[in-house]
Amino acid sequence: MAPAATMTSRTILDAPENRFPLNLDIEIPRIRNLFHAATSNQWNPSLDIDWPALDISPYSEKQLYAARMYWSRRAWGEYGAISESPALQIRFCKENCAPDMRLFFAIRTQEESRHAEVCFRMAEMLGGYIEQPDLSEFQGAVATHGVRKMALDPDVPLEGVIAALVCAAEEIAFDVFRHLIDITPNPVAAQVLKSIMRDEVRHCAFGWAFMNSRIPHLSKTQLGAVEDAVITMIEKVELNGYHSAWLSPEGPAARAEIEVDRLTWEAGLGATVEELEKPVFIASVQRVRRQMQESWGIRLPMFRHHKIDGEF
């Protein structure tokens, strides 16, 4: 039998510490500027949202339950990002990455915590936070997108992790956020969305700044690994319903979540529906493909989904 040490998967944690010499000079000015912007643009979920303006009296019991589930689901997703940031911090430190990245991600963890809290508070104001999905089979769709595992896997290049997480998934999420703000009439729900989006702008900018600093130094093989990571994120995560319930595999859980979104959208409390989000999603994927090709020379394939006509 093989020794126990060889039976477990190797992770970045198995690499020896290599902290010194510790360099804190500016290496990627754009990211250092994002770090300073993040520290000076803090907001407080308990004080900076006009919670007293949220009047729930016009909504039916069914709408309120749906909205509670919707905002609880958002809180679950944001909570997952809280552990994603430290995993990437470990990777940055183990690979002795530019100090700008480590500084920025210290603030990013705080921002994801803030997003989880504000979504929790919104659910509470609507009648009460819901701790888990009604149907257990939906937990897999909202639990993780695999970034923590990718971040600790030395066989996945860091550039692939950032390209997949930020320049693909977070860019798509950003476009959907902008769409949600445009269609959400409730002023408090819209204020919550706008507050989160203010931080997400910096998160997306970080990804492109890092990748633009690294692309000139990558081999063809490394670029291929980046491309593979992005394709996996779009095909296995985004097109599997991680952010949008209507893209989930059909079944009782997906139908329940789609109904939650529809009722919340009808109430104007923050969600969207398939017929409105679909063109936004398609345009976002096309924008990401175009930008990666123009900036990095990466050519993403066309994608397919049974709920979307043709390739996109």
**pLDDT value at position 144?**
52
Give the Cα separation of 289 and 293 in Å (integer).
6
Give the Cα separation of 154 and 15 in Å (integer).
9
What is the DSSP secondary-structure string of 196-232? Answer: HHHHHHHHHHHHHHHHHHHGGG--HHHHHHHHHHHHH
**pLDDT value at position 140?**
53
3-state SS, residue 289 = helix
Largest CA distance in the chain: 67
Tokens 């190797």 correspond to: 10
Residue pLDDT, tens place only, 246-293: 999 888 888 999 999 999 999 999 999 999 999 999 999 999 999 999
User: What CATH number should be reported for the domain holding residue 222?
Assistant: 1.20.1260.10
Sign of CA dihedral 291, 294, 296, 298: positive
* Structural domains counted in the chain: 1
Residue pLDDT, tens place only, 113-160: 999 999 999 999 999 999 987 755 555 554 455 677 888 888 889 999
Q: Is residue 307 part of a domain?
A: no
**pLDDT value at position 42?**
94
**pLDDT value at position 13?**
73
**pLDDT value at position 2?**
41
Q: Is residue 35 part of a domain?
A: no
Q: Is residue 304 part of a domain?
A: no
* Four-point Cα dihedral 132, 135, 139, 140, nearest 10: 180
What is the DSSP secondary-structure string of 9-56? Answer: PP-GGGSPP---S---S-S-HHHHHHHHHHHHS---TTTSS-GGG---
Give the Cα separation of 210 and 212 in Å (integer).
6
| Cβ count near 145 (within 10 Å) | 24
Q: Is residue 311 part of a domain?
A: no
Tokens 């997480």 correspond to: 165
pLDDT average, residue stretch 178-205: 97
Cβ pair 116, 55 in contact under 8 A: no
> 58-62, 103-107, 144-148, 246-250: lowest mean pLDDT where?
144-148
Encoded tokens for 190: 């819209």
Q: Is residue 47 part of a domain?
A: no
From the list 216, 168, 10, the residue with the least C-alpha distance to 94 is 10
H or E element that contains 147:
helix 147-151
- The residue segments making up the domain with residue 241 are 58-296
pLDDT tier for residue 161 given thresholds of 50, 70 and 90:
very high
Q: Is residue 178 part of a domain?
A: yes
Cβ pair 218, 226 in contact under 8 A: yes
Tokens 């994120």 correspond to: 233
Encoded tokens for 285: 């994927």
Q: What is the mean pLDDT of the chain?
A: 91
Q: Is residue 46 part of a domain?
A: no
Give the Cα separation of 148 and 161 in Å (integer).
9
Q: Is residue 65 part of a domain?
A: yes
**pLDDT value at position 17?**
72
Decide if pLDDT at 39 tops 60: yes
pLDDT tier for residue 9 given thresholds of 50, 70 and 90:
low
Decide if pLDDT at 7 tops 50: no
Residue pLDDT, tens place only, 193-248: 999 999 999 999 999 999 999 999 999 999 999 999 999 999 999 999 988 999 99
**pLDDT value at position 145?**
58
Residue pLDDT, tens place only, 68-92: 999 999 999 898 888 888 889 989 9
